Structure 1
Amino acid sequence: MNGSVVLLHLAGAVALLLWATRMVRTGVERTYGSELRQRLRSVVKRPVLAVSFGAALAIALQSSTAVTLLVGSFVGSGFVGGVTGLMAVRGAEVGSALVVKILNYDLTLLVPICILAGTIIFMTTERRDWRQNGRILVGIGLLILSLEMIGQATEPLRHSQLLPVIVSYLSSDPITAYLLAALVTWLFHSSIAAVILLTSFASRGFIQPELGLVMVLGVNLGSSIIAPILTRNAPPKTRVVPLGNLLMRGAGSLVALLLFLTFQPPLSLLGSTSVDQIVNAHILFNVLILLAGIPLSGLVLRATEALVSLNTPQGEQQPLAAQEVSALDPSVLDTPSLALANATREVVRVCETVELMLQRIMDLYEKPDQARIKELAALDDRVDRRHAAIKLYLSRLATSNLSDYEALRTQELLGACVKLEQVGDIIVRNMLAQVRKKMNRKVEFTEEGWRELSQFHAFVLANARLAFNVLISRDEHTARQLVQEKDRLRDMEKDTSQRHFSRLREGSERSIETSTIHLDTIRDLKQINSLLTSMAYPVLEEQGLLRDSRLRMARK
């Protein structure tokens, strides 16, 4: 087998590894993402719990970068302190390192089990959460399969004449090896994939443990660069945690490299095989950075904030409703297809604004803030302006000679825009009023009550995203799923109300104080869900799947 074919097989195996990791991560985010965010936001306020939950979340998401971005957003929103955020990220890095350890065990039997079970679950149910669980199982199966493929793809390299030359050069030039590993990790956007590739080479004797350790340190440098690059255009406060992680982990990897090259400690203490030595070195490094971060996090935070401040031009921080650009070009009204495309783009922007409002409102329930309340109200003004402009634009288009589909699409966009404007009104006029009431009365939900509200809100937010997808894709399957989710929400509302009334009967003082706010919020969220679900009706009516406002049995 020639070198090009070997590299092609290896590239395919690595691509499958990255894809499988993404499948697992997106499946977890779609099924448990909102709940995990709520849990993280509650525990991340305590450093010890933040470390442990950060590690667990990194294992679940198969990515420490995802946790870093999530924690960074919490710090940027003011829900979490910078030091605690850094500690949560430190835990995430340890969790990501433990994933590599787990994947180095012999898990081949799980490949057919996970793929078969995941496929059966995904194909035999319409429930979104079950389908995502099936997706997770298939992703795990493909992840383990990709490890086998990497091993098989690297096997022919035993006979390569070029590889020993490259390895020999890298062994004699550790700085180049360190930087190369950092570059590869950044390209992969995954430290897990990079370390697994190293262990595959080490298991076949292609690289020695000393070179493997140097490259593991480079992997940690490359992994710490990813989040700062992804957040380079984010608000300054959001950039603090990713940049702080770069200072701690990136600088720590460089210090560790210099110490290793200077003292050349024996690697036999890390394990009996080269693979164990590389994996354990990866874990040990992140544990040491975690321990060093306990006394140094405050200093790192101050240094990071100073760096962010230096790189933030005056006037960079703008209010949420600062600038607007319209896609409604009046010059193309004589071409209905182009005009409808423009109107669709503008409605998508309204969808994005409404989604942002729906996300932020629960943050205000948890931590009311007058400045953020005004920002959210400003977003509703943006929705109103865009709604008026779209309505006028489509009204002018309706006077043109439209085909049946174009006329139907015009009415569909008008209806969706009206519903989005109504959702914005509910958030600002009803739910913000509840936020102010909670803030003025200085009352707090019970832990159980807040968990129920958060789960109900997460369900509605997920349905909102489905509704926006239906508006753009007009996909029959997604539209049917959205209407089915409405029935699940109705059952959830009944359960939530029953549990709330049960707490009232038990005389819970906090439940009594927040009863009106709790019930009115559930009512508002349910109304928002109904409005968004109705955006799927035109698609279902066109397919003949609606009858007397009820969803017909799906066609097989």
Structure 2
Amino acid sequence: MAIASFLIEIFAATMLLLFAVRLVRTGIERRFGALFQSILTRHSNSFVAGGAGMVLATILQSSAAVTVLLTGFAAAGMVTFGMALAGVLGADLGAALVIQVLSYDLGWLQPALLALGGWLYLKSERSNVRLMGRIVLGVAFILISLQFLREAVEPIRESAFLPAIAGYLETDYFSAFIVGAVLAFVMHSSVATILMCVALVQIGAIPFAAGLSLVLGANLGSAFIPMWLTRDMTVTARRIPLANLLLRGSAALVMLIVVNVGGLHEALLVTSPAQSLIFAHIGFNLAVFLLATGFVNQLEQPMSVLMAEPKAEAKALDQFSDALTPLGDPSGERASVAMSSVRHELLQMITQVERMFRPVLDIYEQDDSDAISALWQQDERVNTQLTEIRRFVARMPRQNMSKGQITAARGLVEYAIRLEAAGDVVSNRMTRTAQIKHTERSEFSAQGWKELKDLHAAILESFSLARHVLLVDDMDCARRLVLDKAEVKRMSRNSRKAHLKRLERGQTESFQSSDLHLETLRSMRDLHGHIAAIAYPILYKSGQVLETRLVMEMEKEANDD
């Protein structure tokens, strides 16, 4: 009975730890996704990219999340193989640094974090404030789960059961290495796995030597996580997590053998066992980062040989460079490759529309005909991409596709149509509004212009979120995208109300630019609706969104009664 109670408590504490880490990670991804994209794609120096990856993983508390993010950027052609791999290596180091921060005794912070996070999440209607509350609550839950873990292990520390297992893991370091790898992969979090190992070493439940083997194994297992998460991406993208797996996994295995064969445990025990374990983990990832980051660009060619593109995929990608041609009679596997090619082209379309939308407010400030012509040319490219996707999907042989693949292909074409419409919003409606503003020599009020810039910044954050949803069908991110749509509508509605109040006060600038302000609000709201459309098929499939809002309205009225 004691063993069953122990296992339940351990399982509960572990699940709370996993949930808390995910809560923090997704909250930060949603709140700062656009900023992350800018940091990770603006640099060409591998050590700068590695440093950016380290900072992001420290904030996100997950190297796997940063790896998937960078792999998506590489799939969209936004970052090179070398820069992406450098960012991944930096992310591994950043996740190791998180262990140090979370290992401190921060129990006194738990009530304050719970109170602050709960207040922010429950009492605010603004999505950004609620996300900050989500992040603070996640940190509080991490601290609570670690406390639960220590308390669960404490009663059986002196029993015969745990010391027997600990003794076996200490003598059979390779088995401990495998156990650590399996735990990290199953838990899908190296941070949670290593925190658990540190907690067990801290209370003396397992010796330092066994803990070190477990931690080295966790480094290997965590490198498998992004391999699994990106398994449906193109071969070009999957080379990045594979390269990280080979570098990190081989280094972990070499370190395991050197430490255990050479008997270096005492040398690594520089302070308390738990702290020494954290230092060893950080030192290992720092060494891999410093040794490998300098030659990441040279690894691209060997990885291209090791993971060569299948002929079918290379052919499909080539067809996107020119006009798409029939795929002949592809097998079921080739149909899935074709679907990956369509997603790849949609990633390019999202990026292209974002490049059009990002500088559009500059055209409102300066009458630049060259910039407007450039937007029209970019829109022509988006139109061409839509035509190519339609032709490609239309010629895919339905007899070799499952019903799910056919439905998914249809949904991707519909989203391509929405992206083309989003491009038209920028190139036609917003440029026309900007031209009218310059022709009539109108000016926005200071507050009205600030409202438009805030709305523009909020919409930009959704582009990276839409790319992530397209890549991995993440339900949480899909929900966030729909919530962002509601937030954009709220900001648009509030700006319209504020604008009308300025008109009531007789503000001259607001009178001059009234139609322009309202038309720009409508354009931005419509554009965001097109971008967010990728989320609805995922939410419909899981029953998260209804076809109409009638049920929701009836439930709301019933609750009000």
TM-score scaled to structure 1, two decimals?
0.68
Distance 1:149 1:315 in 2: 52
2:492 to 486, 493, 497: 486
Q: Could you say which residue in structure 1 is the equivalent of 2:62?
A: 63
Secondary structure of 1:233 counterpart? coil
> How is 1:506-545 mapped onto 2 (pairs within 5 angstroms)?
525-529=524-528
Please state how far the C-alpha of 1:481 moved relative to its aligned partner.
5.0
Call closer, same or farther: CA 1:421–1:247 in 2, change over 3 Å. closer
Matched, 1:241 2:240: yes
Please state how far the C-alpha of 1:144 moved relative to its aligned partner.
0.7
Distance 1:28 1:219 in 2: 24
Please state how far the C-alpha of 1:58 moved relative to its aligned partner.
0.3
> How is 1:27-426 mapped onto 2 (pairs within 5 angstroms)?
27-43=27-43, 45-309=44-308, 312-317=309-314, 318=316, 357-362=349-354, 377-379=384-386, 423-426=418-421
Please state how far the C-alpha of 1:102 moved relative to its aligned partner.
0.5
Please state how far the C-alpha of 1:487 moved relative to its aligned partner.
3.2
Please state how far the C-alpha of 1:227 moved relative to its aligned partner.
1.0
Amino acid at match of 2:49: A
Q: Which moved more, 1:162-171 or 1:177-186?
A: 162-171
> How is 1:540-551 mapped onto 2 (pairs within 5 angstroms)?
none
Please state how far the C-alpha of 1:79 moved relative to its aligned partner.
2.5
Q: Which moved more, 1:370-379 or 1:190-199?
A: 370-379
Call closer, same or farther: CA 1:49–1:421 in 2, change over 3 Å. closer
Call closer, same or farther: CA 1:460–1:104 in 2, change over 3 Å. closer
Q: Could you say which residue in structure 2 is the equivalent of 1:458?
A: 460
Q: Could you say which residue in structure 2 is the equivalent of 1:25?
A: 25
Please state how far the C-alpha of 1:486 moved relative to its aligned partner.
2.8
Matched, 1:6 2:3: no
Call closer, same or farther: CA 1:383–1:115 in 2, change over 3 Å. farther
Amino acid at match of 2:75: G
Call closer, same or farther: CA 1:428–1:453 in 2, change over 3 Å. same
Distance 2:71 2:129 in 1: 30
Q: Could you say which residue in structure 1 is the equivalent of 2:508?
A: none
Q: Could you say which residue in structure 1 is the equivalent of 2:422?
A: 427
Contact kept? 1:41, 1:79, Cα under 8 Å:
yes
Call closer, same or farther: CA 1:218–1:103 in 2, change over 3 Å. same
Distance 1:464 1:250 in 2: 32
Amino acid at match of 1:483: K
Contact kept? 2:14, 2:149, Cα under 8 Å:
yes
Call closer, same or farther: CA 1:186–1:29 in 2, change over 3 Å. same
Amino acid at match of 2:35: E
Call closer, same or farther: CA 1:272–1:532 in 2, change over 3 Å. closer
Secondary structure of 2:312 counterpart? coil
Amino acid at match of 2:492: K
1:260-296 C-alpha deviation (Å, 9 max, x unpaired): 1232225355532110111111000000101110344
Q: Percent identity?
A: 27
Please state how far the C-alpha of 1:69 moved relative to its aligned partner.
1.2
Q: Could you say which residue in structure 1 is the equivalent of 2:505?
A: none
Distance 1:542 1:202 in 2: 53
Q: Could you say which residue in structure 2 is the equivalent of 1:408?
A: none
1:428-464 C-alpha deviation (Å, 9 max, x unpaired): 4465799xxxxxxxxxxxxxxxx98983542565998
Contact kept? 1:357, 1:427, Cα under 8 Å:
no
Q: Which moved more, 1:198-207 or 1:147-156?
A: 198-207
Contact kept? 1:486, 1:529, Cα under 8 Å:
no
Call closer, same or farther: CA 1:93–1:492 in 2, change over 3 Å. farther
Q: Which has the higher contact order (CA 8 A, sep 6+)?
A: 2
1:487-520 C-alpha deviation (Å, 9 max, x unpaired): 3677999xxxxxxxxxxxxxxxxxxxxxxxxxx9
Amino acid at match of 1:150: L
Aligned pairs, how many? 450
Call closer, same or farther: CA 1:150–1:372 in 2, change over 3 Å. farther
Secondary structure of 1:207 counterpart? coil
1:240-274 C-alpha deviation (Å, 9 max, x unpaired): 21111011101111111121123222535553211
Distance 2:220 2:170 in 1: 19
Secondary structure of 1:130 counterpart? helix
Contact kept? 1:31, 1:129, Cα under 8 Å:
yes
1:28-54 C-alpha deviation (Å, 9 max, x unpaired): 1111112222222214x2223212211
Distance 2:378 2:531 in 1: 28
Please state how far the C-alpha of 1:201 moved relative to its aligned partner.
1.2
Please state how far the C-alpha of 1:10 moved relative to its aligned partner.
0.5
Call closer, same or farther: CA 1:259–1:485 in 2, change over 3 Å. same
Call closer, same or farther: CA 1:21–1:531 in 2, change over 3 Å. closer
Distance 1:259 1:174 in 2: 12
Distance 1:293 1:421 in 2: 39
Call closer, same or farther: CA 1:102–1:491 in 2, change over 3 Å. farther
Contact kept? 1:185, 1:194, Cα under 8 Å:
yes
Contact kept? 1:221, 1:249, Cα under 8 Å:
yes
Distance 1:114 1:180 in 2: 34
Please state how far the C-alpha of 1:3 moved relative to its aligned partner.
0.5
CA RMSD of aligned residues (A): 4.8
Amino acid at match of 2:19: W
Contact kept? 2:50, 2:91, Cα under 8 Å:
yes
Distance 1:105 1:542 in 2: 48
Amino acid at match of 1:46: N
Distance 1:81 1:421 in 2: 25
1:371-416 C-alpha deviation (Å, 9 max, x unpaired): 9985774446768999xxxxxxxxxxxxxxxxxxxxxxxxxxxxx9
Q: Could you say which residue in structure 2 is the equivalent of 1:402?
A: none
Q: Could you say which residue in structure 1 is the equivalent of 2:15?
A: 15
Contact kept? 1:270, 1:280, Cα under 8 Å:
no
Call closer, same or farther: CA 1:168–1:36 in 2, change over 3 Å. same
Structure 1 stretches lacking a partner, 5+ long: 325-349, 387-415, 435-450, 494-519, 546-553
Please state how far the C-alpha of 1:2 moved relative to its aligned partner.
0.7
Amino acid at match of 1:32: F
Structure 2 stretches lacking a partner, 5+ long: 328-341, 360-373, 394-410, 430-452, 500-518, 537-544
1:10-43 C-alpha deviation (Å, 9 max, x unpaired): 1100100000011111111111112222222214
Please state how far the C-alpha of 1:308 moved relative to its aligned partner.
1.4
